[in-house]
């Protein structure tokens, strides 16, 4: 990934573009997004039941206690689950964790034990918190989310990943890169990489580590950036 590519990901406010068309177009040809009609999947969806989610995921969402999607959930989940690269910007406390947790659960194939979604967070606490939210929302699904972060046993992470069936990894960049380098975490089946607190993550020290990880991902991997500020 080049930084330009990340920065050119259209924001939700501007609308989004299908991945296949994105590659074919040059920047010159791009029209301002405001000229275009809103796409079907970038419209506001006011109910979780209208998002086309898997029944067991929907069950998990309601069992978790969510009744209606928050504003960012109404706008961001659909574009993400339809495979677009998305930047979602919303203040803290507005339900961003559930945006990408629900999306990650929807994107994965439960029957496959491959690691399919990678969620990166700047702190161990956040990575662990995200893992718990994913696992709770996916309570009725056959899903395993593992938290990989510094400060916890590397051996246990390697063991968990080698045992297989870890479909979602929630981690901090340093540990995740370490696991990829050691061939413990196989990135070749990753459908999506989600970067939480993207402003912080693409600034300062994490940027290099995120590039290092990105270099191992298949070209088709979808990228989602979540941030309170950009």
Residue 60 CB neighbour total at 10 angstroms: 24
Residue 103 CB neighbour total at 10 angstroms: 28
Q: Which of residues 15 and 122 has its CB atom nearest to ligand AMP in the complex?
A: 122
Among 9, 14, 66, 132, binds ligand AMP (CB under 6 A): 66
Beta strands in the chain (DSSP E): 86-89, 117-120, 145-148, 168-171, 192-195, 222-227
Q: Measured between alpha carbons, how far is 93 from 228 in angstroms, rounded to an integer?
A: 9
Q: Measured between alpha carbons, how far is 187 from 180 in angstroms, rounded to an integer?
A: 7
Q: Which of residues 192 and 217 has its CB atom nearest to ligand AMP in the complex?
A: 192
Shortest Å distance, C-beta 229 to ligand AMP:
14
Q: Measured between alpha carbons, how far is 43 from 71 in angstroms, rounded to an integer?
A: 11
Among 10, 15, 60, 69, binds ligand AMP (CB under 6 A): 69
Among 16, 73, 172, 221, binds ligand AMP (CB under 6 A): 73
Candidates 63-71, 118-126, 158-166, 194-202: pick the segment binding ligand AMP (CB under 6 A). 63-71
Q: Tell me how far CA of residue 90 lies from CA of 2, 5, 40, 228, in angstroms.
A: 25, 21, 21, 5
Per-residue contact flags (x/-) with ligand AMP for residues 99 to 128, judged by CB under 6 A: ------------------------------
Site for ligand AMP in 85-104 (CB under 6 A): 92-98
Q: Which of residues 178 and 196 has its CB atom nearest to ligand AMP in the complex?
A: 196
Q: Is 139 in the site for ligand AMP (CB under 6 A)?
A: no
End-to-end distance of the chain based on CA atoms, in angstroms? 19
Q: Tell me how far CA of residue 183 lies from CA of 135, 180, 189, in angstroms.
A: 24, 5, 13
Shortest Å distance, C-beta 73 to ligand AMP:
6
**Residues binding ligand AMP (CB under 6 A):** 66, 68-70, 73, 92-98
């Amino acid at each position: 990934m080049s930084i330009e590519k990340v920065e050119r990901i259209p924001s939700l406010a501007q609308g989004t573009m299908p991945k296949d068309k994105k590659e074919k177009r040059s920047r010159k040809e791009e029209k301002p997004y405001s000229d275009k009609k809103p796409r079907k999947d970038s419209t506001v969806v006011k109910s979780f039941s209208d998002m086309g989610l898997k029944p067991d995921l929907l069950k998990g969402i309601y069992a978790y206690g969510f009744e209606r999607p928050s504003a960012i959930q109404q706008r961001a989940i659909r574009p993400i689950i339809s495979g677009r690269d998305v930047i979602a910007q919303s203040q803290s406390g507005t339900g961003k964790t559930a945006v990408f947790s629900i999306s990650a659960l929807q994107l994965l194939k439960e029957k496959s034990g491959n690691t399919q979604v990678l969620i990166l967070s700047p702190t161990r606490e956040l990575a662990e918190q995200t893992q718990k939210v994913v696992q709770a929302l996916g309570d009725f699904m056959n899903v395993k989310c593992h938290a990989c972060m510094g400060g916890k046993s590397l051996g246990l992470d390697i063991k968990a990943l080698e045992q297989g069936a870890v479909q979602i990894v929630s981690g901090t960049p340093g540990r995740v890169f370490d696991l990829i380098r050691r061939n413990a975490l196989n990135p070749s089946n990753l459908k999506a990489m989600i970067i939480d607190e993207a402003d912080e993550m693409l600034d300062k020290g994490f940027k290099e580590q995120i590039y290092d990880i990105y270099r191992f991902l298949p070209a088709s991997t979808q990228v989602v950036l979540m941030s309170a500020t950009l």
